[in-house]
Amino acid sequence: MAAETSAVAQLAAAHASGARRVADTVAEALSRARAIAPLNAFAALDEVGAMAAAAVLDARIGAGEEVGPLAGVPVSVKDILDSAGLPTRWGSLLFADAPPAQADIAAVGRLKAAGAVVIGKTTTTEFAHSPLGASPLTGLTLNPFDAALTCGGSSSGAGTSVAMGVTPVTLATDAGCSTRLPAAATGLYGFKPTLSLVPHERVPDGFGSFIHLGLLARSVADIAATLPVVAGPMPADPWSLKGPSGPAPAGSPLAGRKVLLWLTTGNRMVAGEVEAATRHAAGILEALGASVRVEAYGFAHPDPIWSTLQQSNWALRFAATPDAALARLSPTLRAGIAAARGFSALDLLRAQVARTQLFRQVQGVLGEVDFILTPCVSAPLVGADFDLAGPLAVDGKETGPLRSEWTSALSLFDLTGHPAIAMPVGLAQNGGPLGVQLVARWGADHHLLAAAAAFGATLPAPVCPGAFGAL
């Protein structure tokens, strides 16, 4: 099987050789970003800064300098991550007038040092709290497959912009589903590395964090080309101080491997067409040499644990915020803050202990198998205007709250920290993309990407209507 070609690597090589000007590529990316403005994927574009950076790179390349492995590759950054010169507004009216950031977070700085050009900030739900695609500041971000369906969240603009071909790769976050869900919703690959493989020095609680920095791209090869740039230890993130376990094994990444399929992960139901798509994905893994067994998930529902921990984080963030300002937040974010204000210290500690127990249980499973396969979500994409506080219906049957019943398979592995990737598997009857999730052992990120690449070579991603081709 031929190795997948990386658009990121091809662009960088063309720029580094002088065969193509960085300025031309960046100008085209900015043009594409303007062209998809009706989809509302960008919170801000940095046209002046991006073109200035491109001019500097072209001059350095012309002088014979090596400018890095991402030479001139246009990228975007989620609007909860600092990129110097651009405001970080968090999708919130409270930060509508935020000044430009004075410094990059580590991952953004690494992208720039490797020669990438940040063209802008992609939209996010308010403070990344929602799995749907709207915020009070930027409004609704649209799914390019069907505007009536959600594009997923919280990295809403990340999925839409990459699906449309504005940039080949984008930097996002994932604390509950926020990289993998938008990827699944827009026919992309969304990679959540092992916790802190890509360091995040801005999290308030470095030891209790489950916030991952992730990458979305049209191909696994583009993720694999970008990951080494942003990965690696930094002193301010304690979990980053251990690296990945090593490169992917030689030969077929799935031959002889054991895969465990969980169709549910604490949620009550899975839709028939989601189950069929996931079983089809299992069949592809088997055709690639893996053995797959199906078992019932037997551990705690991750959502009560996740909600206690995450809502406590929100409450801490806004502990000193006046009531008048809180009133400007999304109702669902305010509700989470209010819930957390009723938690006791014992509630929080119980959730931390339960998280540890989940980690140990998943560790036990991955001591016996190489990968875990799940659906990304339990039902096809909900509507773009779906009420986050409302109940989810699966095959016409009401099952419970959207967050706990739709995305439990995604939040589970944020809590445990294991590397996971969303992989496209086709379209649902409603026209929206469907995705499955493949999970590996801590540190086995390279092995996971190799397996996902083999899967993707067998099952091409759905084509996004109206999308641009490669830059």
Active site (catalytic) residues: 78, 154, 178
Backbone angles phi, psi at 174, to 5 degrees: -155, 105
Distance CA 87, CA 127 (A): 14
* CA separation, residue 277 to residues 89, 131, 287 (Å): 37, 22, 15
Distance CA 264, CA 267 (A): 6
* CA separation, residue 184 to residues 229, 421, 458 (Å): 24, 10, 17
Residue listed under structure tokens 């998280």: 355
**Residue 204 structure tokens:** 């308030």
Distance CA 129, CA 34 (A): 27
Distance CA 158, CA 124 (A): 8
Q: Is 63 helix (H, G, I), strand (E, B) or coil?
A: coil
Task: Say if CB 26 and CB 50 are below 8 A apart.
Answer: yes
Cis omega (within 30 of 0) for bond into 154: yes
Distance CA 74, CA 81 (A): 17
